[in-house]
Chains A and B, each alone.
Chain A
């Protein structure tokens, strides 16, 4: 039984560095996410947001650093983590029903070699009800709309009843109704004491949806409660001159110098 290292954090990352073909994609990432928050990870294109999640989960091998989830190494804490990858990372023509996909979320708990049992299938149905897709249980996933696909992915995470959820751009490309539903679901998870970490694509909605914010651009620019971190200075550091949002925060009167979307000093390639 290894010593618990920083167990007070849901996710503790230290010195994490990931390289791709000798160039650093993430460098010297020190990240601490307290339990029970709904956290957003934001940053410009190419900032390494998806890579960060993948490195935390062990899907990408870093060249330096370590990760602890609730004080444990990730390989020992898999039961407590749920992962929702980007929707387009999957081929939706795959021959599976909605229920099949949600059941896959439980494979980790079913374990090697065994098959899902009746109890697992019941939990899958319950998860579908949570996202409002129970009528679609036997529908082939190739017939789903984008919003429905996203709901199925969320159900696949919810069914695991994990304490820590990682979602990669769950609200990208979905309609407003689905977005509101997803936010409500995630907030309910947070209110139930779970920790939710979302790579979020839309800066406009950060302060409405989240209570914790991580700004990333290959390095951690800032992290902490949204109110403290969501400032002009931090946005400028993270996004360079790329945002029209800078200068419009807080109130409309603060128009000042609002740079339009051109590459600034800190611009990174995708």
Chain B
């Protein structure tokens, strides 16, 4: 296996970010905690710097732990501030994480000589350089960032597999979850902790803010299409991984930031979902609108036929031709409406003549009654 191939290293590292992001992001989005991911992503910078100041290490488990703690501290502090009643949850979040991030950046600035941490890298990452830092396992070279992400990915997968229904019920109905003894609060904390750890593991690869794209956008994409939590997660993983590949290809073609291109590529899946989603998509909405319009036209046809039933001009009025001439419909549209009405069994056709069936008559009567009621209400409102 050519795992020392540059491309494979970059792609696999990116894919690992996408997979972990999708797993955690699905539940974060369902819980309405997407912006907690934003807060965590920024706050861990402080954790990384503090861990370095305490231990001298720029990477490793201590750093991961310290940074994750900082990320969690940000969220918990914001929650505490909000609970105190002094400010809302949004203001608390917008207060805590920028302050922590600012402190982190300042400390990096001040220690620039000793701490080889380029702040730009922290923010933006550079997945193109993951191959610079490798470790040899089983005789093969693996990027350190990739190995870390793989371990974290297994951790996330394990946690969610074990606590799947507990997370689900905590997200849907925390009241019932608590009543059943499932400790939704602890479940929430666990999710945030894993998000923080994953963010730290990702920052070498894609930087803290780009990680956010993989956390949120594929999950939102999945939510627009899928109807189950598992479905959302699978779609999110798919969308994320495809974005990694597409983004990498685009970055190579146009010589732009790889991490940035991968993150932007997640928008592709989102746009696709927005357009095609059967529930909330644009295409679906258009189809629904056409269906509603067709129903209205059928109702008009029935009313027209009922009005002219058993009148001297019945033969003349109750025909397809009359629809074109007297109602002013387009020939093609008239034919569509007639066919639709025939399909529904509300009219019958004998040569050129159209006649209501019993069902059609009943519907016409109901429609007339509705119109009368509406006119009555309108009149009452006008007087009142």
Contacts A107-B169, A110-B165; A95 near B180 (Cβ below 8 A): no
Report whether A83 and B176 are in contact in the complex, using a CB–CB cutoff of 8 Å.
yes
Residues of B within 8 A of A257 (CB): none
Q: List chain B residues, Cβ under 8 A from A115.
A: 164-165
Q: In the complex, are the beta carbons of B175 and A107 less than 8 A apart? A: no
Contacts of B329 in A (CB 8 A): none
Q: List residues of A (88-134) whose CB comes within 8 Å of B's CBs.
A: 89-91, 94-97, 100-101, 104-105, 107-108, 110, 112-113, 115-116
The complex places the Cα of A236 from the Cα of B168 at a distance, in Å, of 45
Closest to A85 in B: B175
Q: Give the size range of A's interface with the partner.
A: 20 to 34
- CB-nearest residue of chain B relative to A168? B175
Q: Would you call the interface of chain B mostly helix, strand, loop, or mixed?
A: helix
Interface size on B (CB < 8 Å)? 27
User: Chain B contacts of A75 at CB under 8 A?
Assistant: 181
Whether A91 pairs with B181 at a CB distance below 8 angstroms is no
Task: Give the A-B contact count at a CB cut-off of 8 A.
Answer: 70
Give, as a whole number of angstroms, the nearest-CB distance from B43 to chain A.
Answer: 27
Pick from A21, A57, A94: contact of B85, CB under 8 Å: A21
Q: Is B229 in contact with A108, judged by CB distance below 8 angstroms?
A: no
Q: A104–B169 contact, CB under 8 A?
A: yes
Chain B residues with CB under 8 Å of A59's CB are 175, 178-179
Q: Which of B85, B162, B180, B227 contacts A140 (CB 8 A)?
A: B227
From known contacts A95-B227, A95-B228, A95-B229, infer whether A104 and B179 are also in contact, taking CB-CB under 8 Å: no
Known interface pairs A95-B228, A113-B162. Does A85 touch B176 (Cβ–Cβ under 8 Å)? yes
Q: A132 to B371, alpha carbons, bound, how many Å?
A: 33
Interface residues of A in 10-66 (CB under 8 A from B): 21, 54, 57-59
CB proximity to B under 8 Å, residues A145-197? 156
Q: If A91-B172, A95-B227, A107-B165 touch, does A57 touch B181 (CB 8 Å cutoff)?
A: no
What chain B residues lie within 8 Å of A83 (beta carbons)? 175-176, 179
List 6 A-B residue pairs with CB atoms under 8 Å apart, sorted by A's residue number.
A91-B172, A95-B227, A104-B176, A107-B166, A107-B180, A110-B165
The chain A residues found within 8 Å of chain B, CB to CB, are 21, 54, 57-59, 75, 78, 81, 83, 85, 89-91, 94-97, 100-101, 104-105, 107-108, 110, 112-113, 115-116, 140, 156
